[in-house]
Chains A and B, each alone.
Chain A
Amino acid sequence: MHQSFLIYRRARYLKLSLGLMILSLAAYIADARLEQPNGGTWLGYTLGTIGALLIFWLLWFGVRKRKYRSGSGMVSGWLSGHVYLGIALLLVATLHCAFQFGWNLHTLAYTLMVLVILSGFYGVFAYIYFPSRLMDNGGGLSDEAMLTEIAELDGECLAVADKIGDKAHQTMLRSIESTVIGGGLWQQLTATSPRRVQMEAAESKLIDLRNELEEEHTRVMRTLTSLRVQAQIQQQAQQPANPEGSDRTTLFMVDQLAATGSGDKVLAVRQLLDLLSRKKALTARLQRAVQYQALLRFWLIVHVPLSIALLAALLAHIVAVFIYW
């Protein structure tokens, strides 16, 4: 139901671009039989003019994209043309310079152009590849929704940690405080940050705590059972004489031990570990979403400034050519 910019209006710009490339190549081959190919021949000037006009038009895309009230076609059509005619430009400009390179201003302009086009290639790849990745990774959850859920998990973690004790609380707090998503460009692109280290540290501390508590719990339970057995024996022995039972102290101790809640604590730590692993998975997912979005976008930081540099170099190239004609 939707139509990608690559096939906009039955790929009319692909056809246009192919036509331009074939025409340029044919003219170049035909001309090469008559004279030495050079930027200064008639064909060289023609190709150069076409190339320069193309560059101006391609640069205008940045303006058209932001003219939101403009009635001149769809931006997806403009992008389609931008991509295909940008590819054609590579050939047109190469034929214009007739493969003559050197350490000069002209080759600088050419190099800049190639870099811009190459970064554009990456852009096309990114626009085709990453949207689906992002979609699969998100699974219907937006970034904001993931962030909210992480914050909620943090809240739950703290609430559960409070039940366990100060140590667990501190550990969780440190883990939460050091959860960083995104960060600098490099961290976004590579999806690395100190967060994972911290969360793993918290996790291993919790595992230690759980082991400790489990040991304590087993110990308590063992004592509890033996006390209960003792109490029962005593009760049975005293029953005929004293029906109410005089082992109040023992029963009190049993209650006290049960109330230390070491069993609850073990459960709480387990719950905390579950929460933490859920948070870990979610954080990783969000991190990946940030990464994909960075990969979708960072190339523009190269593409746009280089194209401005290209414009400057191109103008210098044209002026130079006309002055030293």
Chain B
Amino acid sequence: MNTKIAIVGAGPGGLSAAARAAELGVSHVLLEAAPHLANTIFLYQKGKHVMAEPNLLPLRSPLAFTAGSREQVLQAWENGAQQLGVTHRLGAEVKAIAGERGNFSLTLTSGEIVNAECVVLAIGLQGNLRKMGVPGENLPFIQYQLDDPDEFAGETIVVVGAGDAAIENALALAAQNSVTIINRRDEFSRAKEGNLNGILRAIKDETLQCLYNSSPTQVVVTPTDGEGDGKPCELYLSTAEGEARIPCDRIIARLGATPARQFVESCGIRFPNDSPNAVPAVSAQYESNVPGLYIIGALAGYPLIKQAMNQGHEVVEFILGNPVEPADEPLLREKFKPILEGRSVDQMLDLIKTTIPLFESLTTLQLREFMLDSDILKPAPGAVIFRRNDYSDTFFSVLDGEVNIQANPDAPEQTISLHAGQFFGEMTLISGRRRNSTVLAGPDCVLIVTPRRSMLKLINSVEAVQRLIDEVFLIRAIRAQMAPDISDEDLAEVARTALIERHETGQALFHEGDVGDSLYMIRRGSVTVSRDIGGRDVVLSYLAAGNYVGEMSLLSNIPRSATVRATVATETIRLDGEPFKALMKRHPTVFMALQKTARERAASGAKAQQSEREGGDVISFLVKQGLGEATDVLLIDETLCVHCDNCEKACAETHKGTSRLDRKAGPSFASVHVPTSCRHCEHPHCMKDCPPDAIHRAPNGEVFIADNCIGCGNCERNCPYGVIRMAYVENKRRSGMLSWLLFGLGTAPGQDLSATAHHDPGAAKKAIKCDMCKDLSGGPACVRACPTGAAIRVSPEEFMVLTR
């Protein structure tokens, strides 16, 4: 088969590209591995609301797309594709792509070869589901996904796999079916704890059967004369005891997915680095480093449906050589308005690129996207950009004029100036902590203000950006923590030998008794300092990002006096002992600063050792609950809590009738209870993968979800502490308190309405979480409503001190 454009992947991007090609009468073929168009959306649950963020961006596609139910969206695309005469082939999985512009050949798993002049890759990021890899793996009795376990009843089902998906499916299916789960190994080592307990209990209770050390060898259709027990297919296994045969109605294999990256790289496309978040760089025309091979949609770093559809439309125009003004051109023109001064958008982008070295290595497309997310700020001279101890997390680049930084709160008149081309705000970006200085605008100041997420995306996709930021961070961190008045040249040697190290949760930076003289600056995360006392590891203190450890050995050359362990994934900068000692010799102030810290720490360490051991145990417990990455956590003292649930009621009352806090849930140690409630992490896990970028951090540190949430549920899945829920959020009418109090009318104050109230059928579920009552004066309602003083909200630094 020969065609001009082969489009791989029939998601929103691919479909839109094919539709545009069909509209223009260009020969094309749309290849989709799944049996449906737009398979990801097809697999959404019935009636799920699909949103059309970002609202500002106009849609540019021959296919219609507005926010609506899954069915409406799919129907619109289906109709559009049919009317335009899109050539598509379902169940056509592309195994390999080879060739060059004008002469590509795409090999399908069926062995068929499709020849095309250009290829558009729109396969998204999910990758392909892994198949069983045995004869018969494509028989209709086998499925590699399960949407609704309740669909099946009274069947004999074999579940293959030992991961969470396999376990969850097996447990759910076992309710109405006879289920056997096949595990290649002798235990379920990859499963989450809850699932592990669930499956082991089910096996013990014989609600399902498990075959360990077994792997499938083939699947066959039951021969008509065989002993298939009336079952349509048979699964053959090799087990430790020999071959086994299971007649069954259905096989569900949950074997994970091969990441899209493997396939993409096999096509010759390069990724900028090994980060799992990295996406391949593409030109302004969406062309990858392989000429004629174009990438659009999530794989190119654009996760939203509308973006992908626009790119599908545009990429076809680009292939045909038609100049297209990008869909975002008017938006950028509007954005640049205050500084455009007669220039075109392209000239402005060039100016940004040449002025700010950080953006030099960006492709035009990356810069456009980056600027679309960013804002231009022209503050009046003397205006405050941010204050010390603010929790804002934006990144600033100076495009023109200057800014003045007050690094020392005791001497605000001492300022450091930054000029056009420089940037600031990287400290908070990396450490996830409060601003450590106040920044004021200087004369003629023009700033590019970038949200955290866009900056992180850029760091992950452009290596030069990451390197530049790390270098600047390093020098500034040394200066801020130890050596305020030292020039860049003097720090050069220390900086040159510095190393960024990453430590997993619980991993030690160094152990008590180790020999070593390097100093560790904590760049991100936090650590505990502990000593072996009577054969037990007793935690003495906790240090967050922005501190250093290891100064004792550096100063005195004695072995390490304590063990330092990462409480969460932590990054440190390791400064070599020798160059640092040389620096201290040249600058006694650095030596004195270090010595002062060492003395203070020795004194407080001794005090901590004398105090009860329990304090240390409580710290260990809290650290295990992930409080090392928290900025503010709700703790309940169980010796004071009277179980009145006034905290939950207060939360429901102040949050549209749905409490975001579960008092009873969560672990306890000694008398400290950690209820299920948001900890407002330094690097919020929930922010990681939010398509509309709806999760933000307010200046006081509250992590909250804005109204543009699309209800995808990613944050709920990403939160390791289970504090985010999907719920219908509506303004429900509440009756007055007095009418309830005196006459028992209406709802009681604080009554949770989420379970009782019926909701508008057109409404979508959205993610809800604690916002620390940021819009109420006086602080979190849960704490203020506690009658006995049992509930408090504290930062880790506070409770580490208070538990003593």
Contact = CB atoms under 8 A, between A and B. Distances in A.
Interface in B757-786: 776-778, 781, 783-786
Given A4-B640, A144-B664, A65 B777 contact: no
B794 A1 contact: yes
A73 B783 CA distance: 11
Contact of A75 (B777, B786, B792, B802): B786
Most chain B beta-carbon neighbours within 10 Å: one of A75, A130, A134: A75
B638 A75 contact: no
Nearest to B205: A159
Contact of B786 (A76, A135, A144, A152): A76
Interface in B604-646: 635, 637-643, 646
Given A75-B646, A134-B643, A293-B643, A2 B749 contact: no
A131 B642 contact: yes
A131 B641 contact: yes
A325 interface: no
Contacts of B783: 74
Find the residue from A2, A4, A143, A159 having the highest chain B CB count within 10 A.
A2
B788 interface: yes
Interface in B638-659: 638-643, 646, 649-650, 653-654
B638 A142 contact: no
B790 interface: yes
B640 A2 contact: yes
Given A4-B788, A68-B649, A127 B642 contact: yes
A1 B640 contact: no
Contacts of A74: 783-784, 786, 789
Contact of A68 (B668, B738, B785): B785
Contacts of B790: 2, 131
Contacts of A73: 784
Interface string A128-142: 001110110000101
**Which of B201, B637, B783 neighbours the largest number of chain A CB atoms within 10 Å of its CB?**
B637
B283 interface: no
A130 B642 contact: yes
A76 B636 CA distance: 14
Contact of B654 (A69, A127, A156): A69
Residues of B contacting A: mostly: loop
A219 interface: no
Nearest to A62: B741
Given A132-B639, A134-B643, A142-B664, A79 B788 contact: yes
Contacts of A131: 638-643, 788, 790
Interface in A247-287: none
A65 B787 contact: yes
B749 A66 contact: yes
A68 B802 contact: no
A73 B787 CA distance: 11
Contact of A140 (B667, B777, B785): B667
Interface in A33-72: 62-63, 65-69, 71
A313 interface: no
B638 to A, nearest CB: 4
A132 B784 CA distance: 22
A307 B339 CA distance: 69
Contacts of B292: none
B153 interface: no
A13 interface: no
B749 A67 contact: yes
Given A1-B802, A2-B640, A143 B664 contact: yes
Contacts of B653: 68-69
A156 B650 contact: no
Interface residues of A, number: 37
Interface string A146-165: 00000010011001000000
Contact of A71 (B640, B642, B777): B777
Contacts, number: 104
A3 interface: yes
Contacts of A69: 653-654, 776, 781
Contacts of B799: 1
B803 interface: yes
Nearest to B783: A74
B737 interface: yes
A2 B642 contact: no
A110 interface: no
Nearest to B776: A69
B621 to A, nearest CB: 11
Given A1-B794, A296-B642, A71 B737 contact: no
Interface in B338-382: none
Interface string B660-683: 000011011101000000000000
A65 B642 CA distance: 15
Question: Which of A62, A132, A152 has its CB near the most chain B CB atoms (within 10 A)?
Answer: A132
A123 to B, nearest CB: 9
Contacts of B641: 131
B642 A142 contact: no
A122 interface: no
A68 B650 contact: yes
A69 B794 CA distance: 21
Nearest to B740: A66
Nearest to B652: A68
Contacts of B781: 68-69
A2 B635 CA distance: 9
A8 interface: yes
B325 interface: no
A130 B641 CA distance: 9
B525 interface: no
Nearest to A66: B749
Contacts of A156: 205
A1 B784 contact: no
A63 B736 CA distance: 12
B241 interface: no
B624 to A, nearest CB: 14
User: By CB atoms of chain A within 10 A, which of B654, B749, B781, B784 has the most?
Assistant: B784
B789 A4 contact: yes
A171 to B, nearest CB: 20
B772 to A, nearest CB: 15
B788 A1 contact: no
A78 B664 CA distance: 24
A74 B782 CA distance: 10
B546 interface: no
Contact of B789 (A2, A68, A142): A2
A2 to B, nearest CB: 4
Contacts of A152: 201
Nearest to A73: B784
A182 B664 CA distance: 18
Q: Identify which of A68, A134, A135 gathers the most chain B CB atoms within 10 Å of its CB.
A: A68
Contacts of B650: 68
A103 B595 CA distance: 80
A3 B789 contact: yes
Contacts of B778: 71
B290 to A, nearest CB: 56
Interface string B727-768: 000000000011001000000111000000000000000000
A77 to B, nearest CB: 9
Given A67-B749, A126-B642, 13 more contacts: A3-B789, A5-B640, A8-B789, A63-B738, A68-B654, A68-B785, A71-B778, A131-B638, A132-B639, A134-B638, A135-B638, A143-B664, A156-B205
Q: List the 3 closest pairs (A to B, CB-CB), nearest first.
A: A1-B802, A2-B637, A68-B653
12 contacts: A2-B790, A3-B789, A8-B789, A68-B749, A69-B781, A71-B776, A71-B777, A74-B789, A75-B646, A131-B643, A132-B671, A135-B639
Interface of B: 201, 205-206, 635, 637-643, 646, 649-650, 653-654, 664-665, 667-669, 671, 737-738, 741, 748-750, 776-778, 781, 783-790, 792, 794, 799, 802-803
